[in-house]
Chain A
Amino acid sequence: GIQVEQSPPDLILQEGANSTLRCNFSDSVNNLQWFHQNPWGQLINLFYIPSGTKQNGRLSATTVATERYSLLYISSSQTTDSGVYFCAGTQGGSEKLVFGKGTKLTVNP
């Protein structure tokens, strides 16, 4: 099966800083998604981005499917951005999402 590698595993920022999170896939994937896990454990959808670039407020994401990677950009970070960010993708016609180990982001005031 596919392997998903996320980097960096941990990131500590001061409020207002920008950051880039990366997700590499060992093989082609479909339905690439980025999630933010809130303190209660729920996975919150950030982007559904099989390819191309999308923006939502201070967040944006880019997926280069041919090179099997995706990037999540967070600009002007806020303390509420803290948490774990996951990327995940599927293969073939399956709904099985394969997740990376996540990036734990801490934004200090």
Chain B
Amino acid sequence: KAGVTQTPRYLIKTRGQQVTLSCSPISGHRSVSWYQQTPGQGLQFLFEYFSETQRNKGNFPGRFSGRQFSNSRSEMNVSTLELGDSALYLCASGRDRGYNEQFFGPGTRLTVL
């Protein structure tokens, strides 16, 4: 069974631009969550999606948004990029919601210049 895939793996953008990251969960998994990892803040929760609905949102500005499609694939978008958005973005896949093990993708490393 294929694991969680994330594209692109690396991305370089400039301030003010916007970016879209993609995550495909493990086949049969319906839950996708997104995390941001920075050296200063560690791993921070961004969003949780289940059955195309955002179920939970972390403490991030409105520039960060996401969605989930009917095939459970998810995208997250960051608009008006700032230097502080440089981070590793990880997505996690879960079979259901609430009581299950989650599996992470390889991440997208975003650099904002």
Contact = CB atoms under 8 A, between A and B. Distances in A.
B42 A95 contact: no
Interface string B27-54: 0000101010100001101001010000
A30 to B, nearest CB: 6
A93 B100 CA distance: 10
Contacts, number: 68
A76 interface: no
B98 A43 contact: no
Interface in B61-101: 88, 90, 92, 94, 97-101
Please tell me the size bucket of the interface on A: 20 to 34
Interface residues of B, number: 28
A65 B75 CA distance: 35
A45 B101 contact: yes
Interface string A77-109: 000000000101010111111110110000000
A41 B107 contact: yes
A95 B90 contact: no
Contacts of B48: 94-96
Contacts of A95: 31, 33, 48, 50, 55-56, 92, 94, 97-98, 102
Given A94-B55, A95-B98, A96-B48, A101 B42 contact: yes
A94 B56 CA distance: 8
Contacts of B56: 94-96
Given A42-B90, A45-B101, A97-B45, 17 more contacts: A40-B106, A41-B88, A42-B104, A44-B104, A86-B43, A94-B56, A94-B97, A95-B31, A95-B50, A95-B92, A95-B97, A96-B56, A96-B58, A97-B102, A99-B42, A99-B43, A102-B42
10 contacts: A30-B98, A30-B99, A31-B102, A33-B101, A41-B88, A94-B55, A95-B31, A95-B50, A96-B58, A99-B43
